[in-house]
Amino acid sequence: MLLIPFLRLAVPRGAAALIAASLVVSCATSSDPSQTPQGQSAATAADVNIERVVLQAYRAIGDRHLYEPNFRALSADSYRGFASPDPALALVASDGRYTVMRDGREVISRPTPTDPADGRAWGAMLAELMAGSMDASPVLQQTDRQVLIRDALTAATHDLDRNTRYADPEEARDNRFQRDGGGGVGITVERTDDKKIIIRAVQAGAPAAKAGVQAGDQILAIDGESMVDRTLSDVVERLRGGIGTPLVLTVLRNGGAEYALSMKRGKIIPTTVTYERRGDVALIHLTGFNSATTESLKAAMDKARADLGPGMAGVIIDMRSNRGGLLDQAQTVSELFIDDGTIFSTAGRHPDSRRVYKSSGSKASDLPIVVLMNGGSASAAEIVAAALQDRGRALIVGTTSYGKGTVQTVVRLSNEGELILTWSRLQAPSGYTWNELGVLPNVCTSKVTDADHLGAASLDTSQGTLMRWHALRNPTHQEVETLRKLCPPGEGSPEADVTLATRILHDRALYAHAVQAAGQQVAAH
């Protein structure tokens, strides 16, 4: 299964808002068949074999990374990350040998492999250095094995690219929940400045909603155990559990009455699609791409048609600050609006990374579409936006997107952590890649802020910039920097974007003029 990662845009571990049983992340990549049995709990510190994890990671990097890695530099940095808890340890790296010293005395020395791209050989050598260091260092022996792995693989992945990274077991479980769902009750919780755990949202139809939980409730206890002054991650962990298992949630409502609400955990997949009626326009907020996104979007479109009837003017798909998600969902979401032909393609070093993704040819919606984007729109969101723009199925309004045009594969490691590894580049139907560059909107809201001043002339001017943008195949850093200044990426979600989008949908001639120009752009390539 291929996905698109959440990259550096993931919500930090310390952020306040969490979906029960999950950090709010959007990832995407491809899952390696795990060498850890399905459903096995996270390895304890005593069970973790550091050397095995390093060998797995190095083998995957050598086989799959987008670019051929230099393990000579990678291994030195990886060892130094691993040994960082003990300042007495030092690595002496020469062209032909790596030697570990502790307090000036040799601990272990090994010859380096001759091929700097041989991940298996370098991983084996590094594992021996680590094992020898553990034997010689009381500091490392007393350090949590998961911390040593995290420090080693974080240092290694930092050398590869900005989207390759290591997720420790806790974060990896959160990532898997966000992608595929899991046992939970369906609430979003937040820890306030005064250390209260407040329920900020309740998912419709989820166990919590059926039990009577309300947004604004304060969580006091779970199964009779007080959650007062507990960390947010502790509370979320307690809310998780096997599907069908019972849970009693004690809440304080409006600062007054207490309620003990009983429920059973269900299969929870975080909500990524919400529909809002705006007159004769359907405004659909698309916040991520998980395993339920396409079906949820279909349901939202059906509801919009039922609400608005034949007078429906069109659809606004709001993907501002959508950080991405599963690759297959980016494809199937695009297929809802594109009848046939190429949606996107991928190319990398590994043979399996080279693919062309095409629509199945089924009848797609022919409603006019405007997509809203900003500088926080990344990954799978950029796939959909680039495909709809290139194929003349939608106009994009907003600012230049993040520029995450690579695909990651998720390798599940034996310690229950994950290596999120870049393995291919994405290309739009017209052939350009938006990595680093981003997807350029047809209407840049930093240039057109007044809906009444929007016309064919301003769209034609934007089209010329778009042609320059798409003509680049391997832009230099300076070219990327110059082009992104033409429509600087913004982080906000102003109502003015929605107003502009609505104006375009109501002017059918203007909309048709713009999408025809976009279609000619693809034909020219």
Residue 22 is among the residues annotated as catalytic for this protein: no
Q: Which residue has the tokens 């996104």?
A: 293
pLDDT-wise least confident of 29-33, 232-236, 314-318, 426-430: 29-33
Are the CB atoms for 288 and 324 separated by under 8 Å? yes
How much is the average pLDDT of 250-265?
A: 92
How much is the average pLDDT of 198-205?
A: 90
Q: Which residue has the tokens 């510190």?
A: 45
The pLDDT assigned to 345 comes to: 95
User: Which of the four pLDDT bands, split at 50, 70 and 90, describes residue 35?
Assistant: very low
The yes-or-no verdict on residue 517 having pLDDT over 80 is no
CATH of 273-523, one of 3.90.226.10, 3.40.50.10490, 3.40.30.10, 3.40.1390.10: 3.90.226.10
Residue 379 is among the residues annotated as catalytic for this protein: yes
Per-residue pLDDT tens over the stretch 100-133: 999 999 999 999 999 999 999 999 999 999 999 9
The pLDDT assigned to 523 comes to: 53
Has domain 182-268 been given CATH number 1.10.300.10?
Answer: no
How much is the average pLDDT of 53-61?
A: 95
User: Which of the four pLDDT bands, split at 50, 70 and 90, describes residue 459?
Assistant: low
Cβ atoms < 10 Å from Cβ of 463: 16
Catalytic residue among 26, 321, 334, 379: 379
> Cα–Cα distance between 392 and 428 in angstroms, integer?
12
pTM of the model as a whole = 0.80
Are the CB atoms for 325 and 28 separated by under 8 Å? yes
Cβ atoms < 10 Å from Cβ of 12: 7
> Cα–Cα distance between 71 and 116 in angstroms, integer?
5
User: Which of the four pLDDT bands, split at 50, 70 and 90, describes residue 453?
Assistant: low
What lies within 8 Å, CB to CB, of 196 at 6+ separation is: 218
- One-character DSSP codes across 188-221: EEEE-TTS-EEEEEE-TTSHHHHHT--TTPEEEE
The pLDDT assigned to 114 comes to: 94
| Torsion angle (degrees, nearest 10) of CA 443, 289, 236, 165 | -90
Are the CB atoms for 192 and 198 separated by under 8 Å? yes
Per-residue pLDDT tens over the stretch 61-72: 999 999 999 999
Residue 404 is among the residues annotated as catalytic for this protein: yes
Catalytic residue among 390, 401, 462, 507: 390
Catalytic residue among 78, 318, 359, 404: 404
Are the CB atoms for 358 and 341 separated by under 8 Å? yes
